[in-house]
Chain A
Amino acid sequence: MVSLAATFGRGAMTNHWRDIRHADLILINGANPAEAHPVGFQWFMRAKLDRGAKIIHADPRFTRTSAVADMYLRIRTGSDVAYFGGLINHVLQNNLFHDAYVRNYTNASFIVKQGYAFNDGLFSGYNPDGRTYNIATWSYESDSATGFARRDMTLQDPLSVFQLMKTHYSRYTPEVVSSITGIPVADFNKVADLVGQMGKPDKVMTIVYAVGLTHHTTGGQLIRSGAVLQLLLGNMGRPGGGMNAERGHANIQGNTDHAISWEILPGYLRIPAPGQKTIADYVAQSAPKKSDKNSWNFFGTNYSKFMVSTLKAWYGDAAKKDNEFAFNFVPKPAQNSSWMSIYDQALKGKMEGLMLSGMTAASIGPDSNQVQSALGKLKWLVIMDALPTTSSEFWRSPGADPSQIKTEVFMLPATHWIEKDGSFVNSGRWSQWKDQVLPPQGQARHDHWILAELFQRVKKLYQSQGGKFPDPILTLTFDYKDPLKPELDEIAREINGKDLTTGKQMTTFANLKDDGTTTTGDWIYTGSYPDSGNLMKRRGGIQDPKTNDPTGMGFYPNWSWSWPLNRRVMYNRASADLDGKAWDPSRPGITWDGSKWVGDVPDYPATMNPHDPNAYLPFIMNGEGVGRLFSNGMVDGPFPEHYEPVESPVANPLHPNNSASPVAFLYDKAAGRPNRFGTPQEFPYIATSYRLTEHEHYVTQHVPHLVQLQPKPFVEIPYELAGQKGIKSGDRVRVSSKRGKVEVLALVTKRLGPMTVAGQKVYQIGIPIHWGYVGISADSDPSHGRYWLANALTPFVGDANARTPEFKAFLVNLEKM
């Protein structure tokens, strides 16, 4: 999501599920929606059946998505930057981009500072010792008179983003793309022809992806390469277009928005950094800066209002002007503190306690064996879950000696989704309220009641005993009828925020202030719960399309509530041309009616005349006001570049001297632990991991019907490779990496097959994640699922931007047992 924010300004699916039916062409990469999001996939099929849309599926594995696609491309896992890069090159070399859109709505015309360079796989500013880039040269040349970025609207300046991009991608010829991805040149050219037609104003393409793109050391750039292509074709902000991330869990979106994530505060405000003493310091280092005279720079301009209003929501009267609204109550991390860092710190003996709710570290990995070692180095571990997990049981997993594991473990029975109300936010940002249908089973308690009571008990300890910096604990607001049992309705009202002067609920974040007179728990949800009531409960759906879908575009504004401000397609100013007319009148997003914008809720001032010389540019969250083809929002390069996975059977055909990402974070190396990467000589096959329709991560191992549908763990092995090894379906096989092994059944299939990459024949093996030593299957297995954890194989390494593990591309060996 960091890549979408670095390109468009917000890190979320830009459109929504139902909207996909408006597309003319659907590119699916790193995803298998027909199986992983089957009900969402109906909208892909509607596009295909109702308007003749074409579906192109690029995936290592032929799946049910491929089966209904117009083209299936067997692509090597992790090579999608080359695929999108080749498409970008095709569009640029043949002038197939949407000219007016690219000139006016992207930073193609911006001039980049002297000193920017890209040579042999390295961008300018590389520091090999720290494995980091100094990104000073990845910025714009500023105009000395205005201070804004210099632009060349002819796009001819050799230092313009447009020309630099054209040069950068000129290397991605169809032959190079084929060599890296394994896609035959003729197939790639067919796709390029189809994609090349999507730059016409009356055509629109969507790109849909899931964790098949994110779970790589190049994950951020894999996504950004698609985002750049979409900007060139003018497909962002438009119904039927966009960059559409399919989230895998019911409420990842809501809980990312609300910042259960080390690097942010609610609403994607950055976590403060050491050295920032005041709100002004914080905003100066965190907020986007205006770099064009017509840029609204909405986020940057209002950053301090959102931050101060959040501090007021959290610290109430203790947040005052003369203490910088309690700015020093917010912790300032020294270093990356994300998922793998937790276990890395535990291995170093620096992490004492861990609380897990609805997440099981032992199964999630990566490198499950190392993660389990880390769990054994904690002083205490708390699991909040409705059902046992591999983490709650790690101390007695098959082969473990509980007496040697010193961690104190607590298993707290938590309630299920259906035993509590509150909202779930889907991938398309629709915040949908649910009822409490059942009372808690047994002694189960709600997670938030467990946390509330723990917090109150900790607070009492600080009140009675004192301790380190108790101020935030003692002053954190708890304005709930029962502080031990806050209602989710009360919390929803707090998230929306209120005007402290009038006592009224806020109706829009535009009215938030930085003088301490307004509150918000999360500014992007301001407007979801005004005094008129909880808009997330709204149920105006397809029972009455005439009333509930007045535009006929499927926005359904009276069904639930969508952030921001109930807008259904983000960046929708870009759905209209400079005059405010829809690029395609048959699929309008918003249009100018002479006095106001009509259609979807505008991502733009509602009455700003597009002919006003001061009219704002369309991407209001970016300092530039336009979409970024070139971005300094990424730490591994301003343009996406293909790098090999950290474990790869081939050297990078583009720059073998800098084969893998030069800035991927190698945790073991940085910590001085022994190398845990394998070589192609020992581990000759590529492996990738994925989910099955009947599975949701790990919890479905407790659901009898689903276990009956997928009773036993297996790996998928290409037919030709199985033939060489004498492996038949149903045989037991061992798949091993440098880090661990799985011993499961073989499923021999033609859905996977050999491919030619960099002149070599390579095979990919498919490994569904799910099984482990907890669940119905394990209970009926003699070894109790001892070698069933797929993530025992995966490498402990992270993407430079998001520190996302490389679950989807690594090397293994395969043996018949």
Chain B
Amino acid sequence: MAGAGALAASGLGFDIAVAESTRVRQSLRIAGAKEQHSICPYCAVGCSLVAYTRQTSNGTTELLQIEGDPDSPVNEGRLCPKGATAMQLAISPRRVESPQYRASGATGWKSVSWDFVLDKIANNIKASRDASFVTTDGNGNTVNRCEGIAFAGGAAFSSEEGYFATKLMRGLGLVHLEQQARV
């Protein structure tokens, strides 16, 4: 009851003296941080996020906090359990750190270089495209399609990446092109 009396005495519902001393003693985790804007990576409500980072002395970027953006007409600062834990998706010890390769019939992954995988995949694309490319169909129609390679993905792409993927895959002549909308 004594506490309640003290709060009532301040007229503000909290004790100014305590609040001020707390402000002096604590500094916000995000004090001085760089503030940037993102969008939640999960569902398609499209909640806006505010992300706070700081450059560390060894030159890396430390992600301090992700929270709902109060300015957004979509979420007005709110986030669900997924959005609220987005930091654990952003920074994860479970990430694949380098390109991995499993040869036909092999029983394990091998860490390899980017040059190794890009070279092999480019050669695979060329070989499969040449093996399955149809320039003219049985009715004599020009169709210029590659039947033996498929590309699927994109629900996590930025839109511009998605457009770019479409452009490149159609450029290769792919007809099997798919993303998450159907499934």
Contact = CB atoms under 8 A, between A and B. Distances in A.
Interface string A6-37: 00000000000110000000000000000011
Interface in B137-183: 137, 139, 141-183
Interface in A359-398: 359, 361, 364-366, 379-380, 382, 384-388, 392, 395-396
Contact of A275 (B75, B95, B129, B141): B141
Interface residues of A, number: 165
B38 A39 contact: no
Contacts of A387: 92, 94-96
A473 B171 contact: yes
Interface string A429-464: 011111101110111111110111111011001100
B169 to A, nearest CB: 8
A40 interface: yes
A131 interface: no
Interface stretch (A254-262, A610-618, A675-683): A254-262
Nearest to B94: A702
Contacts of A353: 124-125, 128, 148-150
Contacts of B134: 334
Contact of B46 (A314, A427, A488, A699): A427
B163 A266 contact: yes
| SS of B interface (majority) | mixed
B66 to A, nearest CB: 8
A408 interface: yes
Contact of B162 (A258, A339, A420, A468): A258
Interface residues of B, number: 119
A250 B155 contact: yes
Contacts of A495: 159-160, 163
Interface string A155-197: 0000000000000000000000000000000000000000000
A488 B167 contact: no
B90 interface: yes
A352 B121 CA distance: 12
B178 A260 contact: yes
Interface in A541-595: 541-543, 548-549, 554, 556, 559
A49 to B, nearest CB: 15
A434 B36 CA distance: 8
Interface string B73-90: 111101111110110111
Interface string B115-128: 00111111111101
B159 A454 contact: no
Nearest to B84: A705
A214 B99 CA distance: 36
A410 B38 contact: no
Nearest to A494: B163
B141 A469 contact: no
Given A255-B155, A331-B170, A332-B144, A248 B36 contact: no
Contacts of B169: 260
Most chain B CB neighbours (cut-off 10 Å) among A255, A351, A387? A255
Contact of B182 (A339, A438, A458, A697): A339
A93 to B, nearest CB: 36
Contacts of B100: 392, 410-411
A227 to B, nearest CB: 18
Interface stretch (B5-13, B15-23, B24-32, B105-113): B105-113
B46 A424 contact: yes
B124 A380 contact: yes
Most chain A CB neighbours (cut-off 10 Å) among B53, B78, B153, B157? B157
B2 interface: no
A446 B162 CA distance: 12
